Amino acid sequence: MQIKIFMPPRFTKKSLNIENLNQRTNREWYYSSSGKASIYHILKNLNITKILIPIYICDSVLVPLKRLNIKPILYDIESEDLNASLDSIKLQAAKYSVNTLLVASMYGNPADMIKIEQYCKEQDIFLIDDSAQSFGAKLKNRDIGTFGDAGFFSFSPGKPTAGHLGSFFWANNEIDIKRRTHCLVHYFKWLDFDNNRYKIYEKMSNLLVKSINLFSRFLLKFIDIIDDDICKFEKEILGGILNESFTFRQLYHDKFIVEFKDNRYFRVIHSLRGKPNNHKFILLFNRDKLAQSFINYMLKNSIYVSNGYNLLSNNLECFPNAKKIDKCVVELPIEDNHEKMAYLFKKVKEFEY
């Protein structure tokens, strides 16, 4: 069996209904071209010079900060679920006099947003709820992404909203966007996604697929789409993704936790609170060499696997929990395919260091 590529869930085309999302969440959502663009638009008019961000997060969050000349101040995570450590946030906010905070709920598991939101209200800290990896998760019947003063989620193959391009955000502060459209960029991004994800096993010209991929990368590199609006053809694509259910994946995630709860090499990261929306198996290994051995083993068996994020700093003196998990996280995608999942479970069971 060949499982060399991660297949996002198929979706049924459906018209985008932002009004319904607004009503459900009691927020007014706006489209942006990416999660990075959402962060940029939220921060643009805040007139800040520093922001607190977690040490364990995708480094793409640094792109809008650099563009706005905002210095990131790092805080530690909790080693249990890899989400924000409130104790570290309090320490760093006081030490560096920071009044803006970004909190991400990692891998579909809600961060402790209720306590964090309360703390931010008490300290007059502007809170951004990053639900890029957890849209659809809930805490006390509130959607992750709706806490604090601003929030966003984005579309990507490895997220609950498994699309090609785009993001939605809301904010209590003033937002000023000069709307543009570069629909050619959006269209080739969709073609690249469709051919390299959905049609990967079909008999297609390798030259054509590679050409689409390279042209898509070229367009994204040299055309600034940070102010872009949604294109007409995308409304059914993103509308369909927003209406998809992830019951299948959650069932497999719960089964995986039970199956490997006593594993001697790793533990499965899972939700400590609320209702998660898991779309990956996240394994935390005892040692970094164990994690790398497992990655090599899974790749040898043609199973898609990836590392966790690189920490945003090598100086870990103030980040003891991040130090514990450094290079020990492994991500395995959950696919909507019983045969693939059975094969994956089998190979994980057979792994011997």
List the CATH number of the domain containing 341: 3.90.1150.10
Q: Which residues are 154's β-sheet partners? A: 167
Do 139 and 191 lie in a common domain? no
329, 308 contact by CB (below 8 A)? yes
Mean pLDDT in residue range 115-119:
98
336, 10 contact by CB (below 8 A)? yes
104, part of any domain: yes
Do 290 and 345 lie in a common domain? yes
pTM of the model: 0.95
Confidence class for position 323, pLDDT limits 50, 70, 90: very high
The reported pLDDT for the residue numbered 276 is 95
The CA–CA distances, whole Å, from 133 to 86, 107, 271 equal 19, 5, 13
The reported pLDDT for the residue numbered 4 is 59
Do 256 and 217 lie in a common domain? no
Do 27 and 145 lie in a common domain? yes
219, part of any domain: yes
Do 199 and 54 lie in a common domain? no
The CA–CA distances, whole Å, from 342 to 1, 335, 336 equal 11, 11, 11
| CA pair distance 136, 132, nearest whole angstrom | 10
DSSP 190-202: HHHHIIIIISTTS
Confidence class for position 3, pLDDT limits 50, 70, 90: low
Do 62 and 154 lie in a common domain? yes
pLDDT digits (tens, 9 = 90+) for 247-263: 888 899 999 999 999 99
pLDDT digits (tens, 9 = 90+) for 125-155: 999 999 999 999 999 999 999 999 999 999 9
Total tally of structural domains belonging to the chain: 3
Is the model's pLDDT at 231 over the cut of 70? yes
130, part of any domain: yes
240, part of any domain: no
Closest CA to 279 of 129, 139, 131, 107: 107
Per-chain mean pLDDT for the chain = 94
Do 323 and 267 lie in a common domain? yes
Do 263 and 190 lie in a common domain? no
The reported pLDDT for the residue numbered 281 is 97
pLDDT digits (tens, 9 = 90+) for 144-199: 999 999 999 999 988 999 999 999 999 999 899 999 999 999 999 999 999 888 88
The reported pLDDT for the residue numbered 115 is 98
Is the model's pLDDT at 104 over the cut of 70? yes
Do 199 and 109 lie in a common domain? no
Mean pLDDT in residue range 331-336:
91
Do 87 and 66 lie in a common domain? yes
Tally of residues, the chain: 353
71 lies in which domain range?
A: 18-171
Is the model's pLDDT at 201 over the cut of 80? no
Mean pLDDT in residue range 50-73:
97
236, part of any domain: no
Do 148 and 199 lie in a common domain? no
Percent of the chain with pLDDT over 70: 97
State the DSSP H helix or E strand holding residue 150, giving kind and residue range, or none if neither: strand 150-154
272, 109 contact by CB (below 8 A)? yes
Do 220 and 257 lie in a common domain? no
